Structure 1
Amino acid sequence: MRRRATGSMSVKSKWTKTKWLRSDRVLRRSVPDTKRFTRSSLEVMTARYKTVYFKPTGGTGGNGIARVKRLGPGRFQIRKDLSTFEASSPRALYARLKRIARGRSYLLQKGIALQTSRGRPFDLRMVVQRTRNGKWVPSVMFVKLGKPNKIVTNYHQGGTLAKIDPTLRRTGCTPKQINRYKRRLAALGMRTARCFERRSGRFKELGLDVALDRDGRLWILEVNTRPGFSALKSLKDKSLYRTIVRYGKQYGRTR
């Protein structure tokens, strides 16, 4: 953990942040099953779930992530970037993932079947920030639409940003349902802020990546302690960018 020039604490370890979330009795229900990558945990996770994500503990921007799909008894497909591999046994799967990891620490996370909009999978970003007087506020929320054939939705991996209301309308949500999702997102953000604040009072901003699954359930995929601002400039409507910068300036961050 370290404190950035903005005055806001930065925590890179996804495992540390996952443990914090799971320590909260409310938030733990919204965290997908996640384990440290070991040979035994890989066997457990691939037996339990058809799809498992392989994520670097300290990675950012969707880099280094692979998706593992169980094709049948002892057969697996590994997808990373635009490459696809097959493994014909749990042992071969473990060996392939070890090569991808190259000695770095990795996590295994239950795969969530993302809701789609016009055929593109998406997840939701909820940003909470502190005001000058130390109060947490849910400042902005938006959608990250995945690029076709990519396993992650990140902007730096070819994804695009969009506003929540029109995206959810295209999935068939009514205005009432959209407002309910937005209230639930804000509540998750504020609960996460309080959870992290119990660990340190030096957090000033958090960005939650939240999956909406095909059953309408929200899942916290991860929490960013240095959420990106600049990608919001790609939206035609600059109001979200102006809002996030306005709050950021109150604790010394301008971009």
Structure 2
Amino acid sequence: MSSGGRGRSISVKDKWKKTKWLLSDRVLRNYVPETKPFTSLSLKRMIGRYKMVYFKPTTGSGGNGIARIVRASSRKFQVRKDRNTYAATSASLFGRLKAIARGRRYLLQKGIYLKACRGRPFDLRMTMQKTAKGRWVPTVMFVKLGKPGKVVTNYHQGGKLALVDGTLRRAGYTQARTNGYKRLMKMLGMRTARCFDRRSKRFYELGLDIALDRSGRLWILEVNTRPNFTALKSLADKSLYRTIVRYGRQYGRTR
């Protein structure tokens, strides 16, 4: 763990460490897609179990370094990273992924088939922040609409931010269903915040990346301890950005 100074929220970059924290919670573990450290054995298990698997660096942000593995047939796979697609066999897949990893530690995560809105797959962000009195509050939630063809939905990878209500309405959900999802996201946010609080009281902000799959189920893809604020400026509705900055000022973060 590293600290940016007094009053600043500490940051944990290790995605595997944060995943293990979530898995230790009896409620949250039901919302975490199966995730394993990358080894030849875990690769064999994951590609045997799932048609799509994500290959993610243990540290890193902005969707950088992530690849997607899709089974094309019983022994053939497609690996997509950035704009490149590689063909691999069961025998060559491990070597192909090791070449992508270049010695860095990676995770394998069950691939979630994201719900789409007008052809753009999306996931959701739930931001948790602490008040000056140290109480966790669910402050803002929004949608990250992926750029068609991209492996991830991140803003810095060509994604676009949008509001939750309008996006879910356009994706075919009623307002009642949308409200149910928002309540569930807040519950997951509060539960995650308390889970992280048990590890350190020096977390003041968290950003949960939450997937909504095509069957309507929510999944926690990962938790960011240094969530991006500036992308919210891209929304026409500036109230979300103002809210997140107002809370951020209480623990020394202004942008």
TM-score > 0.5, shorter chain as reference = yes
Structure 2 residue aligned with 1:113: 113
User: How far apart, CA to CA, are the structure 2 residues paired with 1:4 and 1:157?
Assistant: 26
Structure 2 residue aligned with 1:17: 18
Alpha-carbon shift at residue 151 of structure 1 (Å): 0.9
Look up the equivalent residue of 1:43 and give its one-letter code. K
User: How far apart, CA to CA, are the structure 2 residues paired with 1:73 and 1:136?
Assistant: 47
Structure 2 residue aligned with 1:68: 69
Structure 1 residue aligned with 2:250: 250
Structure 2 residue aligned with 1:57: 58
CA RMSD of aligned residues (A): 0.6
* Equivalent residue runs for 1:84-95 within 5 Å: 84-88=85-89, 90-95=90-95
**Residue deviations 1:85-120, cap 9 Å, x none?**
0012x2200000000000000000000000000010
Look up the equivalent residue of 2:69 and give its one-letter code. V
User: How far apart, CA to CA, are the structure 2 residues paired with 1:181 and 1:54?
Assistant: 27
Q: Is residue 174 from structure 1 mapped to residue 194 from structure 2 by the alignment?
A: no
Alpha-carbon shift at residue 4 of structure 1 (Å): 1.9
Look up the equivalent residue of 1:195 and give its one-letter code. C
User: How far apart, CA to CA, are the structure 2 residues paired with 1:225 and 1:183?
Assistant: 22
3-state SS in 2 of match to 1:207: strand
4+ residue segments displaced more than 3 Å: none
3-state SS in 1 of match to 2:97: helix
Structure 2 residue aligned with 1:104: 104
3-state SS in 2 of match to 1:78: strand
Look up the equivalent residue of 2:53 and give its one-letter code. V
**Residue deviations 1:2-39, cap 9 Å, x none?**
11245211000000000000000000000000000000
3-state SS in 2 of match to 1:9: coil
Look up the equivalent residue of 1:13 and give its one-letter code. D
Structure 2 residue aligned with 1:28: 29
Structure 2 residue aligned with 1:4: 4
Structure 2 residue aligned with 1:241: 241
User: How far apart, CA to CA, are the structure 2 residues paired with 1:251 and 1:55?
Assistant: 30
User: How far apart, CA to CA, are the structure 2 residues paired with 1:208 and 1:29?
Assistant: 15
User: How far apart, CA to CA, are the structure 1 residues paired with 2:253 and 2:8?
Assistant: 8
Query: What TM-score results when the alignment is normalised by the length of structure 1?
Result: 0.99
Alpha-carbon shift at residue 172 of structure 1 (Å): 1.1
Structure 2 residue aligned with 1:208: 208
User: How far apart, CA to CA, are the structure 2 residues paired with 1:12 and 1:167?
Assistant: 30
Structure 2 residue aligned with 1:195: 195
User: What residue ranges of structure 1 are gaps of 5+ in the alignment?
Assistant: none
3-state SS in 2 of match to 1:55: strand
User: How far apart, CA to CA, are the structure 1 residues paired with 2:204 and 2:88?
Assistant: 44
Structure 1 residue aligned with 2:230: 230
Look up the equivalent residue of 1:10 and give its one-letter code. S
Query: What TM-score results when the alignment is normalised by the length of structure 2?
Result: 0.99
Look up the equivalent residue of 1:70 and give its one-letter code. R
Structure 2 residue aligned with 1:41: 42
Look up the equivalent residue of 2:107 and give its one-letter code. L
Report the number of matched residues.
Answer: 254
**Residue deviations 1:112-150, cap 9 Å, x none?**
000000010000000000000110000000000000110
User: How far apart, CA to CA, are the structure 2 residues paired with 1:217 and 1:176?
Assistant: 16
Look up the equivalent residue of 2:10 and give its one-letter code. M
**Residue deviations 1:52-104, cap 9 Å, x none?**
0000000110000000001111111000001000012x220000000000000
3-state SS in 1 of match to 2:64: coil
Q: Is residue 132 from structure 1 mapped to residue 132 from structure 2 by the alignment?
A: yes
Mean Cα deviation higher: 68-77 or 30-39: 68-77
